[in-house]
Chains A and B, each alone.
Chain A
Amino acid sequence: QVQLQESGPGLVKPSETLSLTCVVSGYSISISSGYYWGWIRQPPGKGLEWIGNIYHSGSTYYNPSLKSRVTISVDTSKNQFSLKLSSVTAADTAVYYCARLDSSGYYRLDYWGQGTLVTVSS
């Protein structure tokens, strides 16, 4: 059973960098042919927004609207991947989810973490 678990600070100050990690269990990121590992966020009371994703090789793909501030990295030795979002403002307050994007003949977000709320406030 594939499981994803987000972790990181729940409170970040404006202008600082938001950092989150997603630990994957039940599946090895390093052999994930056709699978990408992504980040999605959801501001309180609003809809889902795709942030970006990464392949086990380290190739990354970002939402153009966030690209200048986003870095996603992968650590296959720890079976985890990470998100960094720089220069945050209150508009970045959201629940952040990590998920697996299955593109092995389909396109579907088949496994999700439970989500972690990050609040941007001084």
Chain B
Amino acid sequence: QSALTQPASVSGSPGQSITISCTETGSDVASYDYVSWYQQYPGKAPKLMIYDVSKRPSGVSNRFSGSKSGNTASLTISGLQAEDEADYYCCSYVGSNNVVFGGGTKLTVL
């Protein structure tokens, strides 16, 4: 069964750039081109930030970008701001209209 592995935590100072990785293991992923990223504040519902690896929904800051190399997708946040401090989850389509989530990464803005 497919699994997505993320680092438990990352940190950065205001103005810096950080990258969160999401590595796919297993053979169930129908297409790793359908990776999405979600931002979640404590006590709130997740919010879509990136979909289909690198596409950004309207209203999401262009400081957020996504990419993929092989079986690892990445979320990059540039010009880090205090408001970016949150949990981030990657998600991938695994076929049969089902998805799998990564374990989540806690971003701390120092």
Contacts and interface: CB of A to CB of B under 8 A. Distances in A.
Question: Which DSSP category, helix, strand, loop or mixed, fits chain A's interface?
Answer: strand
B100 A50 contact: yes
A110 B52 CA distance: 12
Contact of A61 (B38, B47, B96): B96
Interface in A70-122: 97, 101, 103, 106-110, 112-115
A61 B93 CA distance: 12
Contact of A101 (B46, B55, B97): B97
Given A97-B45, A110-B57, A50 B51 contact: no
Contacts of B48: 108-110
Residue from A101, A103, A106 with most neighbouring chain B CB atoms (10 Å): A106
Given A50-B98, A97-B45, A101-B97, A109 B55 contact: no
A61 B36 CA distance: 19
Nearest to B87: A47
Interface size band for A: 20 to 34
B51 A108 contact: yes
Interface of A: 36, 40, 47-50, 52-53, 55, 61-64, 97, 101, 103, 106-110, 112-115
Interface stretch (B12-20, B70-78, B101-109): B101-109
B99 interface: yes
Given A47-B104, A107-B36, A110-B57, A52 B51 contact: no
Interface size band for B: 20 to 34
Nearest to A115: B45
A97 B99 CA distance: 14
A109 B46 contact: yes
B97 A64 contact: no
Contact of A50 (B1, B47, B99, B103): B99
B46 A48 contact: yes
Nearest to B38: A109
Contact of A107 (B34, B44, B101): B34
7 contacts: A36-B97, A47-B102, A48-B89, A97-B45, A107-B34, A114-B44, A114-B45
